[in-house]
Structure 1
């Protein structure tokens, strides 16, 4: 599931060395909307397994969301046809997926076009519709949740979805809604979210808020037991329906990717030490925060001398 330890992590959102609850959004080219990495086939196989075996947990849409689902599917097909035709090919009413050689009939997904879109890209796809209460989740293909359940969030506005996140509604809800409302057709934005986890599984519907210490995790085994989970989040407005596509690309690396990079280890240590305890608890990092800090301190002191 992970890149070789010798390769630098592709993203390091902790690199500033201080935790801040901010949007951290930047505009990127539309061509960079969908991110493809070396785990594409593996992730797509896991998505297919989940969508086939646990469909009700990882896909749902409100009545009335079909126009936005259709528009999102067309956007995904247009993007993959233009930028990754080696992975997804549209052949009339069929879509060929190169990773498994399958041919998917578009007609089989008329009642759930977003389901088909989710089977073509590594990103989870969430559709957010403007409303008087703010942007509301109206449909999602969510195979790799970071400890939240689609059934608990569908139909709810941003403020309710993020109510469990410490400080979100006080500090970020209004800026997020202003940002969402200002995204125009043809614009694409990205931000990164991160945490350290003790389970590399991609599908995690539960587990937020763990605080009890785990004595089995020690400074000596942190490099084997812990992982960095990063979400590459993207935001794109659909021109026809006005619905916002919130894409979530999940990347899981072993914590060992920073073991021989003292600068990154020091930055993560600084971010961890400035992270409020309630946020550590929300992210379920509290059970191992002490051994993690010790391990990062040691890694930060490592240099490249023989």
Structure 2
């Protein structure tokens, strides 16, 4: 398998409140790398022990969920035949030796779809209030709970984000309304977190964590959490499938790239305080910027 890619969405060193969407080649929709077994195994554990927290759907969404599953199966068998094997009504992830009987998921096809890939899958349906979240396989949330967002429109889901209603709500709605099934798009989002855990609901945050961070240990105690997000419209239902692939790297990966450390430092310094607070950067701002500055100023002999 290919090595996990390193995404650094702050490469330009500028903070901006925008979607920053890019055209997505449909063949690049799903990513599989050397973390495949780890991700699918963790999903399996979560779905066995905390199913109601990581999968949810509203009644009446079964047909749209089935469309997602069929689209995903076609894609995986075409582009990753070395990783998947289908025999009749079963689908196997070869590396993990997991085999699923497809008809077992007739009432919740998105549940099976989410088990097949490293991405989380969220289904958005048009409503009078705008697009709303109607089904999701979300094993790797960051500080939010699926059950609290299910059925909510985009504006309500993003209400905690500073400046969203003023600066992003209209552009986001416009993108969703204009998105065509043959022109998917993608973007990157980033956070700095205190844990490498993929499943990170609000209660996983440990009180006082910021007091244990200093310039000497920040590279190992802090982590870059990157989300590679894609949007594509389903051809039959017209719903929109939102995928989120989560990558977590120790912050020390920037020690090999002083310029990227400098760009991240610049981005944080330009970020409004309310956004720094939302991203949980304020408690570690001084230490974080000091650590990045040390890297950025390092000149190899």
Question: Normalising by the residue count of structure 2, what TM-score does the alignment of the two structures yield?
Answer: 0.96
Q: RMSD across aligned C-alpha pairs, in angstroms?
A: 1.8
- 4+ residue runs over 4 A deviation: 207-213
1:130 alignment counterpart = 126
Give 2:280's match in structure 1, choosing from 277, 284, 295. 284
Deviation of 1:210 (Å): 9.7
CA-to-aligned-CA distance 1:140-195 (integer Å, 9 cap, x gap): 00000111100110000000000001111111011001001111121110000001
In structure 2, the residue matched to 1:87 is: 83
What is aligned with 1:49? 45
Q: Do structure 1's residue 73 and structure 2's residue 69 form an aligned pair?
A: yes
**Alignment partner of 1:265 is 2:261:** yes
Gap change, CA 1:213 and 1:204, over 3 Å in 2: closer
Identify unmatched segments of 5+ residues in structure 2: none
Deviations 1:40-89 (A, max 9, x none): 11101001110111000000000111011000000110110110111122
Alignment of 1:57-68 (within 5 A): 57-68=53-64
> 2:236 and 2:86 mapped to 1: Cα distance?
22
Distance 1:207 1:271, change over 3 A: farther
Report the count of equivalent residues.
Answer: 299
Per the TM alignment, residue 102 of structure 1 is displaced from its structure 2 partner at its CA by: 2.2
Match of 2:36 among 31, 37, 40: 40
Q: What per-residue deviation string (whole Å, max 9, x for no partner) do you get for residues 9-67 of structure 1?
A: 62110111121110100001100110112211110100111011100000000011101
Cα distance between partner residues in 1 of 2:176 and 2:99? 36
Counterparts of 2:279 and 2:228, CA distance in 1? 17
- Report the Cα offset of residue 209 of structure 1: 10
Higher helix share: 2
1:202 maps to 2:202: no
Question: CA 1:213–1:115 in structure 2 vs 1: closer, same or farther (change >3 Å)?
Answer: closer
Alignment-derived partner of residue 164 in structure 1: 160
Task: Please tell me whether the aligned partners of residues 210 and 281 of structure 1 are also in contact (alpha carbons under 8 angstroms).
Answer: no
Between 1:13-22 and 1:65-74, the stretch displaced more is 13-22
| Counterpart position of 1:30 | 26
Measure how far apart 1:207 and its partner are: 6.0
* Worse-superposed segment, 203-212 or 287-296: 203-212
Q: Is the 8 A contact 2:65 2:109 kept in 1?
A: yes
Residue 194 of structure 2 contacts residue 209 of structure 2 at CA under 8 Å; is this kept in 1? Answer: no
Q: Counterparts of 1:223 and 1:61 in 2: how far apart (Å)?
A: 39
> Which of these residues, 227, 246, 249, is aligned with residue 231 of structure 1?
227
**Normalized against structure 1, the TM-score is what?**
0.94
